[in-house]
Each structure stands twice: as structure tokens, then as C-alpha cells.
Structure 1
Amino acid sequence: MRALLTPGVLLLIASALLIQTSAGQDVDGGWTEWSLGGSSCNASCGGGTFRRLRTCNLPAPQGGGQLCLTEGGTRALTETEHAPCNTHACATSFSEWGNCTAYCDKGKQYRSSVCGDAPCREDQNQFVREERDCNTWNRTECPSPCLTKNCPEYAICEDKSDNVEPKAVCKCTMGYEMNKAKSFCLRPPPTTPTPRPIPTLAPEEKTVAVVVSKTASTVLIIFVGLTLTLFLLLRILTPDRVIQMNMEIAIISAHIFLMFPPGIVDLPTLCRFVSILVHFFFTACFMFMMLESLHMYSLVAYVVKKDGLFTRLQNTLIGWGLSIFIVLVTMCFEYENYGGVYHCWLQLDKPLCTGQYIPIIAIMIITFTLIEAAGAAEYAPLKDVDKSQRLSARISQRSNLAIMPLVFASWVVGMLSEYEQDLALYGTFGVLNAVVGVVIFFFHSTGNQQVRAKLVKMAQMMKRRRRR
């Protein structure tokens, strides 16, 4: 509010205006708009008054012009009056509370002040709005909040409502996890598996395990070595015998590398080299048993008259060549997993295990299929068949049914014993190796027609000597 102009001030203003007026021009004064003039309404509602002011300077009187005419009919430079204000009725009560802003949920209710017989307007100083919380949720009557809940992809809605309020929670499925903003489901990163603790044996148990396994490998090497020596001395190099000889060389070589001391684990390159060769020689061992079963099938099923499908050189190249190929393919993908932290056998906790087992199991399936096919039906005989070779093939047919499962069991138990560092498995491995050595010596020796002929000849000579 501006301060009220005093009569003295107004007189000075009028005099100045009169002095500035030119002698030849007369202008009557005009009123300005009403202003508050330093006063405010003396009541907030129900009708009050305030003093207002206007001045005669729009325009100011000039020359012989007249002053402004007041409401009372007089001429003056200023005029004041009392005008009505805040004529609206005063607020006497509040309206009823309005509807809740939420349906079957928590919300707000509002009410406003009433001025007389009508609600107060928002531009009136008596206008007041009040609010309060409300809850229209009823668990038995209201629909599930999941009906209107939009969950992201790979998520489902779970109704978690109670008697107080509705609750709908989106839960990710199929192993997905909700992001922090609860806006979409994320595929969790692959978890790093907990490293397997390295199994250990007590020093005295480890000594026993090493002695048992090395002794058993030595027994196998001795008996299979005797088999090789026997046939070399007898100069028996028939096609079937060459296959068996290669199989015997493979299994002896595998066990020679198993004889390496446990300390080579401290030499990673040497340990990996030993692991690769153990894999290679055991694979070759099973490969030559499969070739032996194929040779046997060709004779028993009358596919050929004698000497089998392949020559001695072909059998040798196929057996070692396919074994090299299998190991090279495995090395292309799993070279770093050959060897180990505490052993140099083939590892069972790496994908390398697949490259070890699948080819050998496939070879065994083919071998047993050929053995079964050879004895499953009667085949039309061929003329001029070598009967002694066919008899040896039938013996080979039955001997492989014993040798192959024993070699496979020895191979698997050997890997498990090293992987688990289990004394009982080491003992089982030792027994199996000894049995494998004896079985190979017996069946390979008695299954060959030339050895059988020499044994028969030796038996006859012994009988003659007794008669004398």
C-alpha cells in the first residue's frame, strides 16, 4: 500500500502543473483509476470496506481548465471513498467427504469448506481443502491385482495380497533374475563352479597305492611281454597275430607311461605329454581289438577264405592311424586339459572326458556288434576255406568277449583311482591289471593255430617219452 498524499503535497503538484500550462490552452482535469490508497479490507468475509483513492491528473488541469468533479459535486485534485470488499459469506462448515480416489486399493478422500449455502470458491480467502487416507480394498470381494498387473517377459504375477492392501509381485521364471528397476528379467551370468578340492592320501597310504598300482602294471607288462616274446621266437606273424601284437604293444606302452613317478606333476609339460600318450595307447589298444573282431567276422561269416579282409600292413596302419586321428581331434579342443594338478592320467572333471570315453565306447559297440553278428546266424560256407584260421577266429570271438571288458574295466578303474585318490580303487586296479595280463597271455597263445599245433606236438613228444 502506498502512503496517502497530503493536501500540501497535492497543492504543490497542482501549482507546478499550472505554471507549466501554456497561456493559450485550457485543459480540464481527469480522474485516474481507483487505487487502494494504503488501506486494506477490514473483514475477511461477510462484507467489509476499504478506503480507495484517485487523483485528478489524467490529464492534469491546464491553463484555465477545471479540476476534477467529485462524487459529491465539488471540484478537487483528489478524492477518497470507502468501497465494499469480501462480500462473500464466511465459511461455516465443510462438505461431505468425496469418493475414494482408488478402487479396491488405498487412495485419498477430499472435502472443502462451505461458504453459506454453496462451496467456497478457490479464489476466495475462506476456501480450505482437506484430505485423508482411504482404503477400499476387500480381499474377498475385490479382483486379484494380478488381473491388471503387467509383468515383463519371462515373469509371472504372484498375488501377495493380505487383509490390508492388494499386493502383486512379478517373479521371473526359467532361471531369469529381475533387474533393480523391476522392469525386465535378465538372464543371470554363468556361475563359476566351486573348485573341486584336491583329494589326498596319507603318506603311508600313498606309498601303498603306488606300490600296488606299479606292481600290477609290472605284472601285466611281464605277461603280455611273454606273449610277444613267445610269438617272436616262434616267428608267427600271421595277419591275426599281427593285429594282436599291435594290441599288446599298445597296452604295454600305456602301462609303461603309467609307471612314471608321481613327481612328474611338478613338470607340467612332461605331465601333459604322458597324459596324451596314455590316451593314445589305450585308444590304440581298443582299436586293434575292433580290427581283430573284424578279422574274426570275415572268417566266421565266410566273407573271405583266409587271412581276413586286410593285410598285415593295412591292419597296422589303420589301427595306429585312426588312433592318432582321434587323439589329435581331442587335442585340438582340449589340449590344455591334458595332465593335471595332482596326477597325469586323463581328467574326469573336464570336457576332455568326452573326447576320451565316446570314441572308445563307440569302438566297443562296433566290436561287440561284429562278435554278435558272427555268431548270430548260419552262413553259406565258401570252398577251400582255411579251417584252422576259421577255428582260431572262433576262439578269438570268445576271447575278445573276456579281454575287452577287462581292459575297459582296468582303464576306467585306473582313472578313477587317480582322480579320487582312493586306496580301495587302487587295489581293484591292481587286481584287474594282473588278471588282464594273464588272460591276454592265455587266450592269445591258445587261440593261435600254429601255437596250438606246437603245443599238441610237444604234448605228443612228452607222451612218447613217458612210454619209453
Structure 2
Amino acid sequence: MTSSDLNWALGLTVLLGLAAVTQTADVDGGWSPWSDMKTPCSKTCQGGTQTKVRSCTNPAPEGNGKLCVKEDKTLTAGAEWHTTPCNTQACWVNEWSDWYNCSKVCGRGIKSRFAMCGNETCTGAQYKVEKEPCNTWVKNTSICPSPCIGKACPDYAICRDESTNEDPIANCVCTMGFTMHSSGKCVRPNHPHPPPPPGQVTDLPPAQKVVATVISKTASTIIIVMVSITLALFLILRIFTPDRIIQMNMEIALLCAHVMLMFPTSIVNYPNFCRAVSIFVHFFFTACFLFMMLEALHMYAFVGHVVKKDGMLSKVQNTLVGWGMAMFIVLCSMCFEFNNYGGKYHCWLQMDTPLVYGQYVPVIVIMVITLTLIEAAGAADFKQMKDIDEAQLLSAKFSQRTNLIIMPLVFSHWVVGMMSEYEQNMPLYSIFSILNGVTGVVVFLLHCFNNQQVREKMKGCFNKLRGKSKT
């Protein structure tokens, strides 16, 4: 075979191969099975969707073969995506959690419960809450604390527990004539004085008020002057016997009490200062009665022949006992009735509050003890003691009688003074003035003539004056 024959044979072979390639059979496309893997469901409940896929590869179309037909009748040699429903169950089933505790331990609040998600884990906002009002005060009234505990009230106000069987109620109530302002503070009303309590007359008209003030201040001035003269006389004569020390303390207490009453009525506009004056008035009058009781005890020690001289207590002891007991009594009253010290029209002691018991009961007890000591000293037949100080015994016998005069006078002018201020009564003011003047004069005369040394000096002065008159 020549070379030309060989070349022809090779060319023929190539042509035959090309013809075989171009004459391959046509193949129609077919769908593969739907995939087992699906996209996650778009919802956990209440109907979501997920997607699966198949491809036109079983077999793939070849030649002039047909393409795969989608469900929507379109042709493709690629893939088809199919969406199917999922998690079609309801999100909420008829199951609720237990009610949680009420938001308030003692009172009205809110309680809540939560719905359970049906067979799925709730995510995001997929939960349901139900709320309703609750009242724990009704069941726990007996163990719940007062709503006033921890409640802050403004100055001059106290908390008042006004709870009902249904609700805890705590209201701040202004005292001492103050009224609650819209700002939540206690303020004095614009009118000069608040309305009087039941049974008390209104404040006096301005003209009568001036007259009443002049009368009461004049009355206090009289007693201040007379007691001051008494104190000055004994200081000049330098008489400081045990019985005189008791009387001196009683006079100082009476003097200070009336000095407190000399403050102008305008101090009611300064509640704290007015309360302080009221407390001191209570303290000094109580001390006055206590020293009269100690004088009666000193008298009983001599008249009853218990001691020979100087009494049962020393000068210092009498002073400390008198002022100390008065302070104790007033402090006890302050613990319970502090807010009731001070008044609407005055700064005396009040007649329309429980404080009246703290004023009268201790004084009445003291007076009963004093009268008992005086009666016991005068009624019994005591065995005489030898070497008893006759001068002090004589002064004690004088004291036994003078106390029976001074103590009722002090008590009566104290009571009438309180009533005149409380009632704003002109006749009572006049009686108060008269009693003050009488009390001051009686204290001066009886305390002076009660003392042996004063009597001797007065007798000497009288004799000198009589001798000069004869010459």
C-alpha cells in the first residue's frame, strides 16, 4: 500500500468517527426524586412553610430530547422548588400556668399567669399573658402592718390610719390649727384663728381681746412683782434655812410660770416657740405644787417629831427632788401628747385634748398628798422629842397653816387662767386677775411672817418706829 493509499484510509476513518458522533440518539429529561432535606419551617406553630427541591437529571435531557416539565407546565433542564405547609398545629392550647403572687403583699395589686405553647418552644413574642386585679388586704388584715408605718407626713401633720375592711388607707392630718395645702404641706389658714372646737366660743373681738390681754398681763405682773419682792427680801436678809430654801424654790417656780405668760399672744404664729412656752408653763406650775408638797413633808417632820432640826431632806435634796420630779412628770406627758402642747389662741395648756389628764392628775395627786401630810401632822398626838429646834418647830407650825391658804390659791388661779384663755371669757379674765393679785400678796405676807428671823427683824423695826413716835 502506497503512502497515498494510507493517507486516504486514515482520512476515511476520521470521517466515519465524526459521523458516529453526530448521529448519537436524543434523550428526554426526567425528574430526580424530591430531596429528603428541607429548609427549616418558617414558623414553629400556626402554619409555616418549608421548601424541598428536585432536578432534571434523571436522566438529563440529551440531543433533541424533551426538557422536564414543572408543575406549572413550564419547561426546564434545571431544578424545581416546591413549598409545603409545616407546623400547622395551633400555637396556644388551653393550658395556663398557675397564678403568680399578687404584686402587693398588703393591698390592691395585679397578678399574672402565662399560656403554654403547644408542642413547640416559644420564641420571641410567642407567649401569652393574662392579668387580673387582686387584693391581699382582705385576707391579711389582721397581720398586715398599719399603712402609717413608713408614711412620711409634712411638718405639723400626723398620720391617721383610716383603713377599711377592703383597703389600707393612711392620711396625713394637720394639727395645731394648720390646714393641708394643695402642695401637700401644712399651712396656717388665712383667717386669724381656726374655728373653735365644740363647746368653745370664738376668739374675742379685737377690742375685747386687747382688754383681756391687758387684764391677764397685769395680773401676772402683780404676782411677779410680789414674789420678786419676797425673794429680794430674803436675799437681803441672807436667810437660807432649810424651810426657806423650799419656799424659795416654790416662789421661783411660780415667778417663772408667770414670766412665761407675759409673752404676747402673737407667738401662736410661731408653733415651735409656742409649744416650748406651753411646756415650760406646765413644768413650772408642776414644780410649784411639788415644792409645796415638800414643804408639807418638812413641816410634818417637825410637827410629828420625826427629826429635831433641818427636816428630813437637806437643802440640796429638796431642790433636786422638786425640780427633778417636775421634769419627770412633764417628760412623761411630752412622750404621749407632745403635739398637743401649744394652743390655737394662746400658749397655755390645753383643755380639749388628752393632755389635760397629764396636767391635772399629777397636780391633784400632789395636792392630796400635801393635804394628807398637813392633816396627819395636826390630828395625831405625837410624843415630844427632847432638844428639838424650837424656832424651826414654830416655823413648821406656821407652815402647816399657810400651806392650807397658799396651795388652793395657786391651784385656783392656775385653773381659772387656763379656762379664761380657752373659753376667751372676759369674766374669767377678771377673776384670774383678782386671784393673781391675792396670791401674790398672800405669798409675800405668809412666807415673810412664817419665818422666825423675819419676824424678829420686823418686830425690831416696829419697836424702833414706835419708840421714835413716842419721842
TM-score by length of 2: 0.57
Q: Are 1:313 and 2:316 counterparts?
A: yes
**Counterpart AA for 2:428:** L
Pick aligned residue for 1:362 from 352, 362, 365: 365
**Structure 2 counterpart of 1:389:** 392
**Counterpart AA for 2:454:** V
Taking the TM superposition and a 5 Å limit, the aligned residue runs for 1:394-433 are 394-433=397-436
**Counterpart AA for 2:270:** L
CA 1:197–1:457: 2 relative to 1, 3 Å: closer
**Structure 1 counterpart of 2:98:** none
Q: Are 1:223 and 2:229 counterparts?
A: no
**Structure 2 counterpart of 1:460:** 463
Aligned residues of 1:339 and 1:345 also touching (Cα < 8 A): yes
CA 1:277–1:194: 2 relative to 1, 3 Å: closer
**Structure 2 counterpart of 1:199:** 202
Aligned residues of 1:228 and 1:248 also touching (Cα < 8 A): yes
Aligned residues of 1:243 and 1:288 also touching (Cα < 8 A): yes
Alignment length, in residue pairs?
276
Counterparts of 2:414 and 2:325, CA distance in 1 = 19
**Structure 2 counterpart of 1:450:** 453
Deviations 1:35-91 (A, max 9, x none): xxxxxxxxxxxxxxxxxxxxxxxxxxxxxxxxxxxxxxxxxxxxxxxxxxxxxxxxx
Pick aligned residue for 2:294 from 291, 295, 305: 291
Taking the TM superposition and a 5 Å limit, the aligned residue runs for 1:137-176 are none
Counterparts of 2:360 and 2:278, CA distance in 1 = 15
**Counterpart AA for 1:330:** S
**Structure 2 counterpart of 1:278:** 281
Alpha-carbon distance, 1:195 to partner = 5.8
**Counterpart AA for 1:391:** L
Q: Secondary structure at the match of 1:459?
A: helix
Q: Are 1:323 and 2:337 counterparts?
A: no
Q: Are 1:334 and 2:337 counterparts?
A: yes
CA 1:429–1:320: 2 relative to 1, 3 Å: same
Counterparts of 1:368 and 1:351, CA distance in 2 = 26
Unaligned runs of 5+ in 1: 1-192
Taking the TM superposition and a 5 Å limit, the aligned residue runs for 1:16-35 are none
**Structure 1 counterpart of 2:60:** none
**Structure 1 counterpart of 2:259:** 256
Aligned residues of 2:226 and 2:441 also touching (Cα < 8 A): yes
Alpha-carbon distance, 1:343 to partner = 1.4
CA 1:425–1:198: 2 relative to 1, 3 Å: closer
Q: Secondary structure at the match of 2:438?
A: helix
**Structure 2 counterpart of 1:374:** 377
Alpha-carbon distance, 1:197 to partner = 6.0
Counterparts of 2:204 and 2:432, CA distance in 1 = 16
Deviations 1:339-366 (A, max 9, x none): 0122111001111000110000000000
Aligned residues of 2:201 and 2:424 also touching (Cα < 8 A): no
**Counterpart AA for 1:202:** P
**Counterpart AA for 2:357:** T
CA 1:194–1:255: 2 relative to 1, 3 Å: closer
Counterparts of 1:382 and 1:194, CA distance in 2 = 59
Instruction: Report percent identity of matched pairs.
Output: 60
Counterparts of 1:441 and 1:392, CA distance in 2 = 15
CA 1:383–1:463: 2 relative to 1, 3 Å: same
Counterparts of 1:206 and 1:374, CA distance in 2 = 46
Counterparts of 1:343 and 1:458, CA distance in 2 = 45
Q: Are 1:352 and 2:361 counterparts?
A: no
TM-score by length of 1: 0.58
Aligned residues of 2:200 and 2:422 also touching (Cα < 8 A): no
CA 1:396–1:467: 2 relative to 1, 3 Å: same
Counterparts of 1:284 and 1:320, CA distance in 2 = 6
**Counterpart AA for 1:464:** G
Taking the TM superposition and a 5 Å limit, the aligned residue runs for 1:6-17 are none
Alpha-carbon distance, 1:279 to partner = 0.2
Taking the TM superposition and a 5 Å limit, the aligned residue runs for 1:42-61 are none
Deviations 1:370-403 (A, max 9, x none): 0000000221111111111111111111011000
CA 1:232–1:197: 2 relative to 1, 3 Å: closer
Counterparts of 1:437 and 1:194, CA distance in 2 = 33
Counterparts of 1:345 and 1:241, CA distance in 2 = 29
Counterparts of 1:359 and 1:346, CA distance in 2 = 14
Taking the TM superposition and a 5 Å limit, the aligned residue runs for 1:58-69 are none
**Structure 2 counterpart of 1:214:** 217
**Counterpart AA for 1:353:** V
**Structure 2 counterpart of 1:148:** none
Alpha-carbon distance, 1:194 to partner = 7.5
Deviations 1:240-283 (A, max 9, x none): 00000000000010000001000000100000000000000000
Alpha-carbon distance, 1:450 to partner = 0.4
Deviations 1:130-160 (A, max 9, x none): xxxxxxxxxxxxxxxxxxxxxxxxxxxxxxx
Alpha-carbon distance, 1:455 to partner = 1.1
Please tell me the root mean square deviation across aligned C-alpha atoms, in Å: 1.4
Aligned residues of 1:198 and 1:342 also touching (Cα < 8 A): no
Deviations 1:207-264 (A, max 9, x none): 1100001001000000011000000000000000000000000001000000100000
Counterparts of 2:208 and 2:340, CA distance in 1 = 27
**Counterpart AA for 1:358:** V
**Structure 2 counterpart of 1:67:** none
Aligned residues of 1:283 and 1:323 also touching (Cα < 8 A): yes
**Structure 2 counterpart of 1:301:** 304
Counterparts of 1:317 and 1:194, CA distance in 2 = 39
Counterparts of 1:395 and 1:462, CA distance in 2 = 26
Q: Secondary structure at the match of 1:379?
A: coil
Counterparts of 1:467 and 1:275, CA distance in 2 = 55
Alpha-carbon distance, 1:464 to partner = 3.0
Counterparts of 1:419 and 1:463, CA distance in 2 = 51
